[in-house]
Amino acid sequence: MADGIFGQFREHSIAEFFKKNRQMLGFSGKVRSLTTLVHEYVTNSLDACEEAGILPDITVQIEQLDNGHIRITVEDNGPGIPEKLVGKALGQMLAGTKFNRYMQQRGQQGIGASGAGMFSQITTGRPVKFKTGQGDGKFYEGELKIDFKSNKPIIENKKEADGPYRGLWVQAEFAEVKYDKSDYAPYEYLKRTALMNPHAQILFIEPTGERFLFPRASDLIPQKPQEIQPHPLGITTSDIVEFAHSSQDRKLSSFFVNTFSRFSYGKVEELKALLPEINFEMAPKELKWEQAEQLVNRFKELRWVSPEMDALRPVGPEQVEKALKNIYNPEFMAVTERKPKVFRGGIPFMVEAAIAYGGGTGRRKTDGSVGGDILRFANRVPLLFDAGGCGMTDAVKTIDWRRYDIKNFENEPVSVLINFVSVHVPYTGAGKQAISGEEEIEEEIRLAVMDAAREMQRYLHGKVREAGREAKKKTILRYISQLAHDLTQLGGKGKPAEIEKKLTKMVEDKYSQLTLEEAGEEAEEEGAKEDPPNGNGEEKEE
């Protein structure tokens, strides 16, 4: 029976797996699939340009073909891809520069561009066309397909030419996709990409030929993140065994110091005292699983310096403000940036948040009204889909917005922007459209948004007071003329016009600014609304 059951036993490649489970990469629904394709190519271009210290110029063109297919062309001015790696970069799953590096990047798995090529191949049977050059006088172009059984790229019609071309040009044809102008379409995705990447210039050409330019709002190239070593608190038993068995260090003690962040010889001495049965002079390759398990458990008993934060590069409050003005031109905005924290034991992260009110903010509804909008980003990348299952959405919805003079978030012209920054974004799936609800992350998001909400509250409260003062002033001015005539008759002297002029000036002076007494009352009222600090010195809602 066993021979019969296992007669169909086969090995499968990762490319075959995703071919049958393409929805896991975000290819589910025609509009979503198209936006996912644009997302994969654009994020690769942004990462490449920034790592090379180049201000990105990216062109995205979408064309509707007569056969019902859609053709996408993306071109950037980045460093290009070396000839020997272009196949792996564009046509091999889990191959790239990102998965193995402990630093902030937009992509993580090395699937994106290869996944797009896969989707083109399985929906149209056509190859991906490419052109790449490094500006060294030569460039290469050709066509690429994927061998799904071996997860290997197949390059055809490859040509070498002379010229100063630098960058990457990619063109592919797709079926089972649809272009529209909804809140989940490529236009909205590129607009939000421009919002959180003010140093990038993006030209979008839609199927009608209409061109949309999202101009560069800043000439400041983001500082390149520095690759860091993993922190001991974020290490599993499997990690330690794998690192140790591939280490070139001669002793276990030096292996720890050279491999992990914040690991000193002093910490080695502390471990020796806790684990006298482990020989720290032995070669790392001799480390057994049981010993590694003991080490991981003892790591949790020691006090460690927080992880290094050189790997994180937030957008920054000043750049976020520029971007919000450039895209939404709001009536009011407040930007906050929280201090770096760690989650899941040792992965560094931080949260940027902003609230924009009025102007072009908010979500346009089908009936023409405007409602509250949550703009979610992870390492500057827009997250348009799966909002209901995202930790960012959950964090924002648990805030009592009435405390900040927002009576109903769903019906106010307000946009809440959140950018989660980390060396490892805990996405809920390979489609990378929502982050998991880690407790530490959701709490930091709440605190960041609440910081900005307090500033908005002061602004809105001031608007209400101003409106009240204006209403009182208009009410009084309505009776000035009659009062001037009555005073003239009662006093038996003076001219009504002169008295009216003086009374009007008195009222204008009274309501032109807050009296000292009113200002003091407002300051006292705002102070009373501040949230009490908790035991960690953080502000939280009661």
pLDDT value at 466 more than 70: no
Task: Work out the average pLDDT over 372-393.
Answer: 92
Q: Which of 85-94, 116-125, 149-158 has the lowest mean pLDDT?
A: 85-94
> Could you give the percent of the chain with pLDDT greater than 90?
44
On whether the CB atoms of residues 328 and 359 are closer than 8 A, the answer is yes
282-320 tens-digit pLDDT: 999 999 999 999 999 999 889 888 777 777 888 888 888
pLDDT value at 167 more than 90: yes
Task: Work out the average pLDDT over 479-504.
Answer: 83
Task: Give pTM, 2 decimals.
Answer: 0.74
Task: Work out the average pLDDT over 512-527.
Answer: 50
204-224 tens-digit pLDDT: 999 999 999 999 888 888 877
Task: Please give the structure tokens belonging to residue 363.
Answer: 């979500």
On whether the CB atoms of residues 235 and 204 are closer than 8 A, the answer is no
Better-scored residue on pLDDT, 482 or 431: 482
128-157 tens-digit pLDDT: 999 999 989 999 999 999 888 888 889 999
Q: Domains of the chain, with CATH numbers?
A: 14-214 (3.30.565.10), 232-299 (1.10.8), 317-457 (3.30.230.10)
240-282 tens-digit pLDDT: 999 999 999 999 999 999 998 889 999 999 999 999 999 999 9
Task: Please give the structure tokens belonging to residue 423.
Answer: 């060396």
On whether the CB atoms of residues 185 and 35 are closer than 8 A, the answer is yes
Residue 72 confidence class, pLDDT cut points 50, 70, 90: very high
Q: Which of 8-22, 371-385, 416-430, 491-505 has the lowest mean pLDDT?
A: 8-22
pLDDT of residue 518: 53
Backbone angles phi, psi at 38, to 5 degrees: -60, -45
For residues 299 and 87, give the distance between their C-alpha atoms in angstroms, rounded to a whole number.
Answer: 42
Q: Which of 9-18, 50-59, 340-349, 350-359 has the lowest mean pLDDT?
A: 9-18
On whether the CB atoms of residues 349 and 359 are closer than 8 A, the answer is no
Averaged confidence pLDDT in the chain:
84
pLDDT value at 345 more than 70: no
pLDDT of residue 523: 44
Residue 149: count other Cβ atoms within 10 Å of its Cβ: 12
Residue 174 confidence class, pLDDT cut points 50, 70, 90: very high
pLDDT of residue 150: 86
pLDDT of residue 366: 81
Task: Please give the structure tokens belonging to residue 12.
Answer: 């499968």
CA atoms within 13 A on the CB side of 423: 28
pLDDT value at 103 more than 60: no
For residues 168 and 111, give the distance between their C-alpha atoms in angstroms, rounded to a whole number.
Answer: 18
Task: Work out the average pLDDT over 95-122.
Answer: 68
Task: Work out the average pLDDT over 372-395.
Answer: 92
Task: Work out the average pLDDT over 109-133.
Answer: 87
Q: Which residue type is seen at 182? A: S
pLDDT of residue 172: 96
pLDDT of residue 96: 55
pLDDT of residue 9: 52
Residue 540 confidence class, pLDDT cut points 50, 70, 90: very low
Cα-to-chain-centroid distance, residue 466: 37
For residues 98 and 223, give the distance between their C-alpha atoms in angstroms, rounded to a whole number.
Answer: 17
Please choose, from the candidates 358, 350, 404, 353, the residue with its C-alpha nearest in 3D space to the C-alpha of residue 374: 353
pLDDT of residue 54: 94
442 Cβ contact list (under 8 Å, min separation 6): 391, 394, 395, 398
